[in-house]
Chain A
Amino acid sequence: MDFLDFSINIILPAALIIFVMGFFYQVIQYFIIPGPPRPHAPGRKVPLSKKILMPFIKWIGTFKFIMKVNPLHGFMAIFVMHIPLIAIILLFPPHQAVIFHYFPFLEPILAPLAIPQNITDAFIAQKTIWGPLEIILNADLLAILIIFSSSTVFALRLVKHFTGEFKSTIGDYFALILVLILVIFGYLAVHAHGTSLYEFYLALHILTASFLIAYIPFSKFFHFVWSYWLNLAIMIYHRARRGA
């Protein structure tokens, strides 16, 4: 068994098993700890439209606030890191192949949204639903954006550390480095296609991805699969009750 086979057939499934176990560990722990007391009072009487709209207004308001007070960090973290990261994970066809292997039910939803590898591909070979948006929505550019933004966020955290304003933890830096390495190996693998280095880079990419997958439930990355959505649901509940 070579390095690539080992990464794909042993490490990746093992990482997925750890991920699933970790996921249930966290979720079970969440439900074992008693919840806050249940409210007995009804919510405020406000128009239904307001109840529905309020959480979204608050959600958008938060991002507006971040862009106003901390524009560079906010823009880099939200728009240049998170959104491209989500897009490349879910929409780049080689990633989709892995996702559909484990979660076939996602294929009809995600497959039509696939993005091309690069702009040349977009114009010459593939026809995706994205049309002119392919200029941005292509894996090459997204990868470069992620590398650029995670490096910038890393640097911004360092600057704040030295000014004493805000000191990130080792875990915060580690998470960024992990994303950075993962994307760099992925980019190198794609661009080494057809060369002798291709398999080596791809194996490193899969190894890093496997580590990340196994690490998710035990780190801040868990927000991506659980806590962010949970917080969002709780926020919607409270805001709808209060109507403001």
Chain B
Amino acid sequence: MAKAELKYEEKIRKAFIKAIDRSRLSYFKYCMRAGSCAYACHFWLVDPRHELVPGIKGKRVEDVFKKEFTVLGKIKRKITKEPLITIEELKKWVELSYGYCSLCDRCMLACPYSVEFPPLTLYMRVVLHEAGLTPDSVQKQVENELKIGHPYGITKEDWLRIISDIQSKFDKEIPVDKKGAKYLLIPGKRSLKDNLNSFIATIDILLKAKEDFTLSSNLWSGCMATYDIGAWDEMTILTRRRTKIIRDLEVKTIILTNDACGYYGWRWLADKAIREKLGFGVIDISELLAEYVARDVFKLNRNQNDFRATYHDPCHLARKGGIVEEPRKAIKPAVRDYVEMPHYGIYSICCTAGCLQVDEYMDTRAKAFKVKLDDILATNANVVITNCDECYVTFKRMFKEYNVKDIELKSITEIFSAAIS
């Protein structure tokens, strides 16, 4: 084997070792290939091919695992001299893990063996990242995060300008860099670029609730997509960097608003990434809204939202994050008519983004969106409420693609803020 190839193979091997922990053995050794996972996957449902069955995607990872980590596999490899993985196979992994998987974890719900771990497509992404094969549009987000502090390239100057623009809409002062505040509000990674209204609505609610909160001039993204991209080293660097900013502000709790993957990452992964306690709490905005409803902080006027609405549970928030009831507690008293989709809560169908717009695979994702669209249309709702601006942007893109004109999109904070006034 040529030296360059050997080096490459070593990289892949290292990435594999980094990604593998014992919980993965559940797939590698005991996947029963019941095939139930297929029926949960929106990509398979619109294109029922063998290679798109979640468990079968995982089997490709299993095959590499066996070559490297089992005695028989090692012997076989020595004899046949086959490489650990070919570049063609890695390219297939790009297609399968980015084009045909949004890491929504829905397949895990359908597994009769109660598997509770991220699908193996995540580990494909870890290896791909190490191999330098992450799709450009996604890789750019990682680079932007590290260099600029925001996945979509919003600079600190942009952020400060946005704050001052927002400030001009309110009489009350929006606290910035206030030490020791109860809450630090972190904008959704998509909000600043594509749905500022959702962020403005959040600030409006906090100001009206006379909440002790602050923004940080140094933190304008809580994005944790690096996890789903498999850029785990970068995720650790970013989490350390951001944790320091938060700790320096001495806030008690951070609020993620309209940012499902941000919430999921900070609530369930950040401590593992830096291998220590964060030292502050993490909540999603809907948890605070539900608390306001429970405490009767506001008199909500449903007539301000005089439509039939349904709520889309973002995968990272509901299925992965555990936030299911709170958004409903906040929305139901704020809209005239609320209806659930046929699949909701932890069973909700993914919007096809999985917290990542992958420009290279918009076609496969648009096709898979049909499953979500059917769910939405079944409700006869005029408005789809989201609690994640990545989902919001995806819906916007997909509604255009499917020529859906009579359904509006709103964020949970817009709905709530409208009901207050």
B338 at the interface (CB under 8 A from A): no
B110 at the interface (CB under 8 A from A): yes
User: Which residues does chain A contribute within 8 Å of B115, judged by CB atoms?
Assistant: 231, 235
A18 at the interface (CB under 8 A from B): no
- Contact partner of A235 among B30, B116, B346, B347, CB < 8 A? B116
B92 at the interface (CB under 8 A from A): no
B318 at the interface (CB under 8 A from A): yes
A167 touches B113 (CB 8 A): no
CB within 8 Å of B: which A25-46 residues: 26, 29-31, 33-41, 44, 46
A69 touches B39 (CB 8 A): yes
A227 touches B113 (CB 8 A): yes
Chain A: interface residue count, which band? 35 or more
B110 touches A62 (CB 8 A): yes
CB within 8 Å of A: which B95-113 residues: 109-113
CA distance A169 to B31 in the complex (A): 11
Instruction: Given A39-B272, A65-B347, A244-B324, decide whether A77 and B34 contact each other with a Cβ distance below 8 A.
Output: yes
B53 at the interface (CB under 8 A from A): yes
Instruction: Given A40-B277, A63-B112, decide whether A30 and B36 contact each other with a Cβ distance below 8 A.
Output: no
- Contact partner of B109 among A58, A167, A172, CB < 8 A? A58
B35 touches A228 (CB 8 A): no
A36 touches B38 (CB 8 A): no
B21 at the interface (CB under 8 A from A): yes
Q: Give the total number of A-B pairs whose CB atoms are below 8 A apart.
A: 143
A2 at the interface (CB under 8 A from B): no
User: Which residues does chain B contribute within 8 Å of A238, judged by CB atoms?
Assistant: 116
CA distance A164 to B115 in the complex (A): 25
A73 at the interface (CB under 8 A from B): yes
Instruction: Given A70-B35, A164-B49, A166-B38, decide whether A39 and B109 contact each other with a Cβ distance below 8 A.
Output: no
Which residue, of A44, A168, A243, has the highest number of chain B Cβ atoms within 10 A? A44
- Contact partner of A73 among B32, B35, B272, CB < 8 A? B35
B337 at the interface (CB under 8 A from A): no
Which residue, of B31, B115, B116, B323, has the highest number of chain A Cβ atoms within 10 A? B116
A234 at the interface (CB under 8 A from B): yes
CB distance from A243 to the nearest CB of B (A): 5
B278 at the interface (CB under 8 A from A): yes
CB distance from A132 to the nearest CB of B (A): 30
B295 at the interface (CB under 8 A from A): no
CA distance A61 to B114 in the complex (A): 11
Find the A residue at minimum CB distance from B44. A165
User: Which residues does chain B contribute within 8 Å of A61, judged by CB atoms?
Assistant: 109, 346-347
B interface footprint on A220-244 (CB within 8 Å = 1, 0 otherwise): 1011000110111011001101111
CB distance from A234 to the nearest CB of B (A): 5
B268 touches A227 (CB 8 A): no
A41 touches B268 (CB 8 A): yes
User: Which residues does chain A contribute within 8 Å of B39, judged by CB atoms?
Assistant: 65-66, 69-70
CA distance A44 to B151 in the complex (A): 28
A74 at the interface (CB under 8 A from B): yes
Which residue, of B25, B33, B48, B272, has the highest number of chain A Cβ atoms within 10 A? B33
B110 touches A69 (CB 8 A): yes
User: Which residues does chain B contribute within 8 Å of A31, judged by CB atoms?
Assistant: 22
CA distance A20 to B10 in the complex (A): 36
- Contact partner of A74 among B36, B270, B324, CB < 8 A? B36
User: Which residues does chain A contribute within 8 Å of B21, judged by CB atoms?
Assistant: 33-36
A6 at the interface (CB under 8 A from B): no
B30 touches A66 (CB 8 A): no
Find the B residue at minimum CB distance from A227. B30
A99 at the interface (CB under 8 A from B): no
User: Which residues does chain A contribute within 8 Å of B347, judged by CB atoms?
Assistant: 61, 65
CA distance A70 to B276 in the complex (A): 43
CB distance from A171 to the nearest CB of B (A): 8
- Contact partner of B113 among A38, A164, A165, A228, CB < 8 A? A228
A228 touches B114 (CB 8 A): yes
User: Which residues does chain B contribute within 8 Å of A235, judged by CB atoms?
Assistant: 114-116
B271 touches A166 (CB 8 A): no
A165 touches B271 (CB 8 A): no
A interface footprint on B157-178 (CB within 8 Å = 1, 0 otherwise): 0000000000000000000000
Find the A residue at minimum CB distance from B276. A40
CA distance A59 to B111 in the complex (A): 10
B322 touches A242 (CB 8 A): yes
B23 touches A36 (CB 8 A): yes
A to B CB contacts below 8 Å, 14 in the list: A36-B21, A40-B277, A41-B270, A44-B322, A58-B346, A65-B39, A65-B109, A69-B39, A168-B33, A169-B33, A172-B32, A235-B114, A239-B116, A244-B323
Q: A37-B272, A227-B25 are in contact. List 11 more A-B contacts (CB 8 A).
A: A30-B22, A30-B25, A40-B275, A41-B270, A41-B278, A61-B109, A69-B36, A164-B49, A165-B48, A235-B114, A244-B322
Q: List 7 A-B pairs, minimum CB-CB distance, nearest first.
A: A242-B322, A69-B39, A227-B30, A40-B271, A37-B272, A244-B322, A235-B116
